[in-house]
Amino acid sequence: MRESMLDDVEIPYLWSDQELLRFLVNAEKEACRRSYLIIDATTVADNSSPTPLPVCVIRLTAGVATYAISPKILQIKRCQLASYPYEIKESPIHLPYLDDEIPDWMGSSGTVGTEGTGGYPVRFFTETGSITFVKAPPVDDTAYLVVARLPLTSFTLETSPEIDEKYHINICDWAAHLAFMKPDSDTFNKDLAVYYEARFTKNFGPLPDAYSEQMRKIYLQRARMRPVKFGS
């Protein structure tokens, strides 16, 4: 990248190794936000946080509706309880409308509008850093999730990105974009910054705005459109 994209071959370099590493780490996260490159069904907890937060396994307590989850989760693709044989669906009803539709959803447990399910919740919705079941589970249980997420840890000069190796070369485009945005007379190049940003967008799709990201969390998975080329 330093030679082929930045033409930065003379010492002292215009960009340090640590700067380029920081740009590449940012690029991996950017690619995941756009294309959901990391699909995970096995990681129990995000240990990069001061307090480990659930990723794919949540221990549920009877009567408790809301649980903290890793903020690195971008989307919950599937949710199933250990004691219930059917998938728990994401609710098409979302705050602030839930209180109007189901006034007692937060203070009670059991099902909503489904007969013969044995009292288990049949919906959930997500906010950043939390999942809420509608209604709360009536007994202690375990929820197993399949999620799209960001990398749990940043790679280093000695380690590799978490995303599949076939995408490694493409994230260099975003790193080059950031490099040419560095506000210095020897590094800033708007034309090249725009060029490499466009190449990155071609491979991973546009960055969704805040509203679009929120809509991903509200609507049922089967109703969502593919956000980008590599997504699902």
Q: Rounded distance, CA 56 to CA 44, Å?
A: 5
Interhelix angle 17-35/190-204, rounded to 10 degrees, is 40
> CB–CB of 147/76 below 8 Å?
yes
Q: What pLDDT does residue 68 have?
A: 96
Q: Answer whether residue 112 shows pLDDT above 60.
A: no
Q: Answer whether residue 116 shows pLDDT above 90.
A: no
Q: Answer whether residue 96 shows pLDDT above 80.
A: no
> CB–CB of 66/54 below 8 Å?
no
Q: What pLDDT does residue 43 have?
A: 97
Task: Lowest mean pLDDT of 125-134, 180-189, 195-204, 213-222, name the range.
Answer: 213-222
pLDDT band at 227; cut points 50, 70, 90? very low
Q: Which residue has the higher pLDDT, 74 or 96?
A: 74
DSSP state of 222: G
Above pLDDT 90, what percent of the chain? Answer: 61
Residue 126, beta-bridge partner list? 131
Q: What pLDDT does residue 137 have?
A: 87
pLDDT band at 200; cut points 50, 70, 90? very high
Q: What pLDDT does residue 163 have?
A: 98
Q: What pLDDT does residue 83 have?
A: 87
The pLDDT of 150-176, averaged and rounded, is 97
Q: Answer whether residue 91 shows pLDDT above 50.
A: yes
Residue with tokens 């989760």: 73
The pLDDT of 207-213, averaged and rounded, is 73
Q: What is the mean pLDDT of the chain?
A: 85
Q: Answer whether residue 225 shows pLDDT above 50.
A: no
Q: Rounded distance, CA 74 to CA 36, Å?
A: 8
Tokens of 47: 């240990």
Q: Answer whether residue 103 shows pLDDT above 90.
A: no
Contacts of residue 202, defined as CB under 8 A and 6 or more positions apart, other chains included, come to none
Q: Answer whether residue 148 shows pLDDT above 60.
A: yes
Q: What pLDDT does residue 6 have?
A: 95
Q: Answer whether residue 77 shows pLDDT above 60.
A: yes
Q: Answer whether residue 220 shows pLDDT above 50.
A: no
Q: Answer whether residue 60 shows pLDDT above 70.
A: yes
